[in-house]
Chain A
Amino acid sequence: MKKASILMILGPLFLLGLYIFPLWNIMLGAPQYPDPLGLNIHISGLRGVNEFDIQNIDGLNHYIGMHTLPKPEDMWEFGTFPMIIGFMVAFGVLIGILGYLQKVSYQWFFGWFILMSILGILGMYDFNEWLVDYGTNLDPNAIMKLTNPDGTPMTYKPPLLGHVKMLNFDVTSLPSTGAWLMFVGMMLTLTAGYLGWKSTKTQ
Chain B
Amino acid sequence: MKIYRYLTITLGSALMLISCGQQNQSSNGALSSSAAEKVYVAPGEQDEYYAFLSGGYSGNLTVYGLPSGRMFKEIPVFSQFPTSGYGYSEETKPMLNTSHGFVPWDDAHHPDISQTNGELDGRWIFINGNNTPRIARISLSTFETEEIIEVPNSAGNHSSSFITENTEYVVAGTRFAVPVPQRDMPINEYKGNFKGALTFISVAPETGEMDIKFQLLMPGFNYDLSHPGRGKSHGWFFFTTYNTEEANSLLEVNASQNDKDFIAAINWKKIEEYVNNGGGTKIPANYAHNVYEEETHTGTTTMKKEVLTVDPTKVPGAVYFLPTPKSPHGCDVDPTGEYIIGNGKLSADLTVHSFDKMLAAIEGEKFDGEAYGIPILKFEDIMAGQVKSGGLGPLHTEFDGKGNAYTTFFISSEVVKWKLGTWEVIDRKPTYYSVGHLMIPGGNSRKPFGKYVVAMNKITKDRYLPTGPEMEHSAQLYDISGDKMELIYDFPTHGEPHYAAGCPAELLAPKSKKIYRLDENKHPYAVTTADGSKVVRDGNEVHVYMSMIRSHFTPDNIEGIKVGDKVYFHITNHEQDFDVPHGFTILGQNTSELLIMPGQTKTSVWEPKQVGVWPFYCTDFCSALHQEMQGYVRVSPANSNIELKWSLGE
Contacts and interface: CB of A to CB of B under 8 A. Distances in A.
Nearest to A51: B576
B577 A144 contact: no
Contacts of A51: 576
B544 to A, nearest CB: 23
A63 B625 contact: yes
B515 A52 contact: yes
Interface string B619-644: 00001110000000000000000000
Contacts of A55: 576-577
Q: How large is the interface on B (under 10, 10 to 19, 20 to 34, 35 or more residues)?
A: under 10
Given A52-B515, A59-B550, A144 B576 contact: no
A102 interface: no
B577 A56 contact: yes
B549 interface: yes
Given A52-B515, A52-B576, A59 B549 contact: yes
A56 B623 CA distance: 12
Given A51-B576, A59-B550, A63-B623, 14 more contacts: A52-B515, A52-B576, A52-B577, A55-B576, A55-B577, A56-B576, A56-B577, A59-B549, A59-B575, A63-B624, A63-B625, A143-B624, A143-B625, A144-B624
Contacts of B515: 52
A59 B577 contact: yes
A144 to B, nearest CB: 7
Nearest to A32: B579
Contacts, number: 18
Contacts of A59: 549-550, 575, 577
B627 to A, nearest CB: 12
A135 B625 CA distance: 21
Contacts of A52: 515, 576-577
Contacts of A56: 576-577
Contacts of A143: 624-625
Interface in B460-518: 515
Interface string A28-60: 000000000000000000000001100110010
Nearest to B577: A56
Q: How large is the interface on A (under 10, 10 to 19, 20 to 34, 35 or more residues)?
A: under 10
Interface in A68-109: none
B117 to A, nearest CB: 34
A143 B575 CA distance: 19
Interface of B: 515, 549-550, 575-577, 623-625
B443 to A, nearest CB: 33
Contacts of A63: 623-625
A92 B524 CA distance: 55
Nearest to B628: A143
A52 B576 CA distance: 6
Nearest to B625: A143
Nearest to B599: A52
Nearest to A62: B550
Nearest to A37: B577
A56 B549 CA distance: 11
Contacts of B577: 52, 55-56, 59
A63 B550 CA distance: 10
Contacts of B550: 59
Instruction: Rank and list the top 10 A-B pairs by shortest CB-CB distance, nearest first.
Output: A52-B576, A56-B577, A59-B550, A55-B576, A63-B624, A143-B625, A52-B577, A59-B549, A63-B625, A56-B576
Nearest to B574: A55
A91 to B, nearest CB: 41
A143 B550 CA distance: 12
Contacts of B575: 59
Contacts of B624: 63, 143-144
8 contacts: A51-B576, A56-B576, A59-B549, A59-B550, A59-B575, A63-B623, A63-B625, A144-B624
A8 to B, nearest CB: 46
A51 B624 CA distance: 24
Contacts of A144: 624
A55 B515 CA distance: 14
A94 to B, nearest CB: 44
A152 B14 CA distance: 77
B497 to A, nearest CB: 31
* Most A Cβ at <10 Å: residue of B575, B577, B625: B577
A63 B549 CA distance: 13
A175 B549 CA distance: 33
A152 B526 CA distance: 44
A65 to B, nearest CB: 13
Nearest to B515: A52
A144 B575 CA distance: 21
A144 B628 CA distance: 13
B531 to A, nearest CB: 15
B648 to A, nearest CB: 15
Nearest to B549: A59
Nearest to A54: B576
A63 B576 CA distance: 17
A43 to B, nearest CB: 26
Nearest to B578: A35
A115 to B, nearest CB: 42
B421 to A, nearest CB: 48
Nearest to A143: B625
Nearest to A31: B44
A144 B624 CA distance: 10
Contacts of B576: 51-52, 55-56
Contacts of B623: 63
A170 B549 CA distance: 25
A73 to B, nearest CB: 17
Nearest to A56: B577
A20 B165 CA distance: 48
A143 B626 CA distance: 12
B387 to A, nearest CB: 49
A134 to B, nearest CB: 20
Contacts of B549: 59
B298 to A, nearest CB: 24
A59 B515 CA distance: 16
Interface in A3-45: none
A134 B515 CA distance: 29
B556 to A, nearest CB: 15
Interface string A138-150: 0000011000000
Contacts of B625: 63, 143
A79 to B, nearest CB: 25
A55 B549 CA distance: 11
A59 B575 CA distance: 9
B80 to A, nearest CB: 32
A12 B577 CA distance: 40
Interface in A121-143: 143
A64 to B, nearest CB: 10
A144 B625 CA distance: 10
B622 to A, nearest CB: 11
A56 B580 CA distance: 11
Nearest to A63: B624
A157 to B, nearest CB: 22
A63 B623 CA distance: 10
B438 to A, nearest CB: 35
B632 to A, nearest CB: 20
A139 to B, nearest CB: 13
A118 B625 CA distance: 46
A55 B598 CA distance: 13
A52 B573 CA distance: 14
* Most B Cβ at <10 Å: residue of A51, A52, A55, A56: A52
B451 to A, nearest CB: 27
A63 to B, nearest CB: 6
A59 B624 CA distance: 12
